[in-house]
A and B are shown apart, each in its own frame.
Chain A
Amino acid sequence: AQSVTQPDIHITVSEGASLELRCNYSYGATPYLFWYVQSPGQGLQLLLKYFSGDTLVQGIKGFEAEFKRSQSSFNLRKPSVHWSDAAEYFCAVVRSGTYKYIFGTGTRLKVLA
């Protein structure tokens, strides 16, 4: 069965520090991969997505993610975190040709001033 794992439930970083949020997936083939962010009281917003091609994808708000097929991972990174990045982050996958997006359990990011 398809699954998405986000091993870190909570992460705390200092403002200005770098960030990496982990995402691993289990699929029969390369899925399409997404990162969404959910701020309190807000809907989920797409940060970036990977379909094919360059394995390093750039997103909004200075985020990037790297697809590593050998590790079945799609980790999200940001070089310098801002206090406004405090939110919950979800990794999601969908198999090509299907419509059922599977979400991970999320990583809640706290940013220290």
Chain B
Amino acid sequence: DTGVSQDPRHKITKRGQNVTFRCDPISEHNRLYWYRQTLGQGPEFLTYFQNEAQLEKSRLLSDRFSAERPKGSFSTLEIQRTEQGDSAMYLCASSLTEANTGELFFGEGSRLTVL
């Protein structure tokens, strides 16, 4: 399978715990995005990488959120001291630079439930 893969698909945690999500983009894609989707809403932009550089971080992300993309390959999104309001589907997407406004390829998402 050469699509975008995310792990884990589901995570249930207690408030205050840390969680980490991983995204493996399509191998030749140098752009990687994280979005968050809550019930009844469309995906909301969280952050964006071009290769290993994090070029923008949404104001939606508090200091408890951090994302990395070492070596410009896979990416991780960590949430520290989780809160119930963090419960959502976290979506990863990738695309090619030369297709500057081209298609985003999405993974199936990682659903977080904070108890």
Contact = CB atoms under 8 A, between A and B. Distances in A.
Nearest to A32: B101
Given A44-B91, A49-B103, A51-B101, A99 B43 contact: no
Interface residues of A, number: 27
13 contacts: A32-B101, A34-B103, A43-B91, A43-B107, A44-B106, A45-B106, A90-B42, A97-B100, A99-B55, A99-B56, A101-B45, A103-B35, A105-B42
Interface of A: 4, 6, 9, 32, 34, 36, 41-46, 49, 51, 90, 92, 94, 96-97, 99-106
A45 B92 CA distance: 13
Interface residues of B, number: 26
Given A43-B108, A43-B109, A44-B91, A103 B56 contact: no
B45 A43 contact: no
B101 A94 contact: yes
B106 A104 contact: no
A94 B45 CA distance: 12
A32 to B, nearest CB: 4
